[in-house]
Amino acid sequence: MFFRLLQQWVLAPIVNYRLFHNFARQDFTGQFAGSLGGVIWLFITPIVNILIYSFVFNVVFRSPMPEEYGDTPFVVFLMMGYLPWFAFADAVGRASTLLLEKAPLITKVKFPVQIIPAVGTVVPYLVHGIALGLFLLYLAVTGHFTLMWLWLPVIFFLQFLFTMGLVAILSALCVFLRDIQQLVTLMLTSWFFLTPIIYPISLIPEDWRPLLLLNPMHNFVQMYRELILLDSFSMASFQIIVPAALLTYCFGGWIFMRIKHAFGDVL
């Protein structure tokens, strides 16, 4: 039973590619429908946030850069944590309303509902992946490219799987527990500040640093920064994110498939 449900979860976007593609295209274009700025907002929002955080922590609080990063500008250090987080937070933040928004379709049309969490994860990662790609292109042009960057697609894909597992769990549970919408907002806010994104890990007391190993997003951010800025590969972080991504993806898919038959009755 477990493996059969898991197989349906994994193969659904592939087997139903045309339906998945149509949903993803509608979701992507729908974000900019009626907007004068259109896709320009893809870049304005993260840039403005990064400039604000850079001013606060680089000018006002003057956060010290870790010694190992040398003369790396704080804004570069910040972006290598903030851009991957933005993709994660956008997908998870939308998870609680994914199925509720599709309620008329789910209750009237028979189709593989499991493609909805896939669409809800792919679109944010596509949107913010564009911004991340452009920033990496800038770093490459300015002479920061190394062969270690070849690991980036692997890390990005593992982060995508981790996110999709969470999206599946939250979207499914929110059908039955609407309070999850408020809990997700609180969870993301707390998670953001508990992850060394806008501050270096050196500001955390040494006795507390081992607790960061329990935070998968810290390990993802750490790997991005080390691969791109330090030309190094953290095996300790990699050994954490691989099982975290695979287990979350599989468990989230299993939970979703186990309870999806009840969606139509509740929605």
Q: What is the pLDDT of residue 38?
A: 58
Return the structure tokens found at 10. 């994994």
Q: What is the pLDDT of residue 157?
A: 95
**105 part of a folded domain:** yes
**101 part of a folded domain:** yes
DSSP letter string over 79-101? HHHHHHHHHHHHHHHHHTTHHHH
CA distance 263 to 250: 20
Return the structure tokens found at 97. 């309303």
**148 part of a folded domain:** yes
**123 part of a folded domain:** yes
**26 part of a folded domain:** no
Compute how many other C-beta atoms are within 10 angstroms of the C-beta atom of residue 193.
11
Per-residue pLDDT of the chain (267 residues; tens, 9 = 90+): 667 777 778 778 888 888 888 888 888 777 666 565 556 776 677 677 777 877 776 777 666 677 777 777 888 888 888 889 989 999 999 998 888 888 888 888 788 899 999 999 998 898 888 888 888 888 898 888 889 999 999 999 999 999 999 999 999 999 888 888 889 999 999 999 999 888 888 778 888 888 888 899 999 999 999 999 888 998 989 999 999 999 999 999 999 999 888 887 776
Give residue 73's domain range.
Answer: 2-10+37-266
DSSP letter string over the chain? -HHHHHHHHHHHHHHTHHHHHHHHHHHHHHTTTT-SSGGGHHHHHHHHHHHHHHHIIIIIS-PPPPGGGTT--HHHHHHHHHHHHHHHHHHHHHHTTHHHHTHHHHHHS-S-TTHHHHHHHHHHHHHHHHHHHHHHHHHHHTT---GGGGGHHHHHHHHHHHHHHHHHHHHHHHTT-TTHHHHHHHHHHHHHHHSTTSS-GGGS-GGGGGGGGG-HHHHHHHHHHIIIII----HHHHHHHHHHHHHHHHHHHHHHHHHGGGHHHH-
**19 part of a folded domain:** no
CA distance 82 to 96: 22
CA distance 43 to 60: 25
Q: What is the pLDDT of residue 35?
A: 60
| pTM score of the predicted model | 0.90
**187 part of a folded domain:** yes
**73 part of a folded domain:** yes
Q: How many domains would you assign to the chain?
A: 1
258 and 6 Cβ atoms separated by less than 8 Å: no
